Amino acid sequence: MKPNWDTLLDEAALAALLPAGSAHFARPIRDALALFLGGLPESRQASILMAQAKLPLQASFSQRLGLLARGSAVLHKLGQVLARDQRLPLQLRYYLRELESLPPSVPMEAIRETLNAELGSLDRLGITVGPAIAEASVAVVVPFRQGDRSAGNSSPEGVFKVLKPGIAEQLDEELRLLESVGQHLDSRCEELNIPHLDYQDSFAQARDKLLDEIQLENEQRHLVQAKKFFADEPRVRIPGLREHCTARVTAMERLFGAKVTSHALDTAGKKRRLASLIAKALIAKPVFSESDQPMFHGDPHAGNLLLTDDGSLGILDWSLAGRLGVRERIAIVQMVLGAITLDATRIVDELSQLADPQRLDAAELRRVVDKWLKRVRRGRFPGLSWLVGMLDEAVLSARLRVSPDLMLFRKSLLTLEGVIAEVGERSGQIDKSLSLEFLRHFAAEYPLRWLRAPQSRDFATRISNLDLLQTLGSYPTVVARFWTGHGFDILEACAKRWEAGLQDEAGAVADGSSANKSAEGVSQE
């Protein structure tokens, strides 16, 4: 008899955990989870439910969701993404953060068996393997040393990242279920009151990225590329590859330190400097790179970021990485300039060039842009967080579809916002760091601007001299747009107050009429 997952997935409890204004997503989330879990083999369903049964009766719904995510590689990865989302309740984030670095559960015998099968006899190679030190969604990490330490001829300590036994089959199983969930949501958008977003296609993009998690050859290539990319950053450390890499094993240098969110920094200044370093390395560096296709880390949760013993930032687990193309970075700069000049048309044009025009709702996109420009007029800084917020709403309401790499970059930002806020104990660090890096790069490239064509954007900042001149020359237009928009805001507010007043008056009249009728009834009696 198959279990009924609705008993665990309480819709009201889910609604209470969602951000303000998102409670209506509780039902589709419940349905999606029930369909996904119900499609797993009965043995895995039983194992997940057995783990739930071991929790105390008074365990919170957040705790149960955190444990639920451990039973699936897909849910594990989703939980890591949401763990730093500041919009979610603190208790839920607490249990999801445990997914960033779980205590090892794979038996050492199974790990040794995999290593012997992949590398040959460990004893013959002179490799000593220690107990596992960490476990992620698809792999387990074990330290190793090669050579005779007592004779003084052993190599520096490294780590093996080893795929979990059976993880490829498990992930294939789960990703096929993810496709079914997408079909379910696509066919019930009206019934579930959710936007028409082509969920099946979105999940297909997620599937391709998740499959990269078990392609360790990709991680090994990314490690080499990341080492080169950060070669000019003395405070950033990328583990170097070691001998004995295979399709199921990555051998790399071991970095010693603590999670950036578990450090022992004792002053606010040190914390802010660490937060600034994270923002600079993982966001500003790819955004302001002179490379045509700079790489970025696709899964920068706190478990993959170390404050090393020498005070550097260690960036681990490069299985998931993306590329931020020139076109995307130009669009980011142009949209920020559009926000500064209050030019909605400019922003709409840039978003439209990034999107699939056949699916895009142009009228709704303009409404979204106007809405977010209103926030700029009211004092909101048009930084990256503002841009991402606008992008998210455009995806939901205007059916904006952008490249998989750009969506992966957005996911990385969501994770980093929470990590950086927790490390630095303040918000706005990302925008501050990006602004400072922009000024630094602009100052460095300023002499070269006199030698380039006015329309050239071949700079790290991706902004041309013509862009600058047009921005400066638009000052009178910006002033006019500001006061015109401000006037409309005032009229809109007055209209709402007028409407509310009429409703209150109508309600009072209705209440008075009811009272009179009641009085008449009493007098007749």
- Those residues whose C-beta lies under 8 Å from the C-beta of residue 517, and which sit 6 or more positions away, are none
- Work out the pLDDT band at 505, boundaries 50, 70, 90: low
- Work out the pLDDT band at 525, boundaries 50, 70, 90: very low
What is the reported pLDDT for 354?
86
Better-scored residue on pLDDT, 255 or 510: 255
Cα(87)–Cα(417) distance, integer angstroms: 11
What is the reported pLDDT for 136?
85
What is the reported pLDDT for 102?
83
> pLDDT exceeding 90 applies to what percent of the chain?
52
Q: Residue 29 gets which letter from DSSP?
A: H
Q: Phi, psi (5° rounding) for residue 500? A: -65, -40
Three-state secondary structure call for residue 249? strand
pLDDT of 44 strictly over 70 = yes
Residue type, position 316, single letter: L
Average pLDDT (341-353) is: 92
What is the reported pLDDT for 521?
53
pTM for this structure?
0.85
pLDDT of 445 strictly over 70 = yes
Contact 321, 295 (CB under 8 A): yes
What is the reported pLDDT for 522?
43
Contact 429, 276 (CB under 8 A): yes
- Name which of 52-56, 368-372, 502-506 the model is least confident about: 502-506
Average pLDDT (431-459) is: 91
Compute and round to an integer the Cα radius of gyration of the chain.
27
What is the reported pLDDT for 504?
63
Strand pairing partners for 250?
161
The DSSP-derived string for 107-164 is -HHHHHHHHHHHHS-HHHHTEEE----EE-SSEEEEEEEES-TTTT-PPPPEEEEEEP
pLDDT tens for 97-128 read 999 888 888 999 999 999 999 999 999 999 99
What is the reported pLDDT for 147?
81
Average pLDDT (492-510) is: 65
Alpha carbon 255 to its chain centroid, in Å, reads: 25
The DSSP-derived string for 176-193 is HHHHHHHHHHHTTHHHHT
* Kind and range of the H or E run holding 258: strand 257-259
Mean pLDDT rounded to a whole number for the chain: 87
Contact 321, 296 (CB under 8 A): yes
What is the reported pLDDT for 150?
60
Better-scored residue on pLDDT, 40 or 204: 40
pLDDT of 418 strictly over 90 = no
pLDDT tens for 303-333 read 899 999 999 999 999 999 999 999 999 999 9
Three-state secondary structure call for residue 76? helix
Give the C-alpha distances (Å, rounded to integers) separating 322 from 39, 43, 371: 31, 36, 30
Write out the E strands in 294-360: 295-297, 305-308, 313-315, 321-323
- Name which of 160-169, 381-390, 399-408, 504-513 the model is least confident about: 504-513
pLDDT tens for 149-193 read 665 566 778 999 999 999 989 988 998 898 899 899 989 988 888
Average pLDDT (363-370) is: 94
What is the reported pLDDT for 263?
78
pLDDT of 483 strictly over 80 = no
What is the reported pLDDT for 397?
87
Cα(379)–Cα(387) distance, integer angstroms: 14
pLDDT of 235 strictly over 80 = yes
pLDDT tens for 2-29 read 667 877 888 999 999 998 888 889 999 9
Average pLDDT (415-425) is: 86
Average pLDDT (431-448) is: 91
Sheet containing 313-315: order of strands: 236-237, 313-315, 305-308, 257-259
Contact 400, 351 (CB under 8 A): yes
Contact 433, 235 (CB under 8 A): no
What is the reported pLDDT for 512?
58
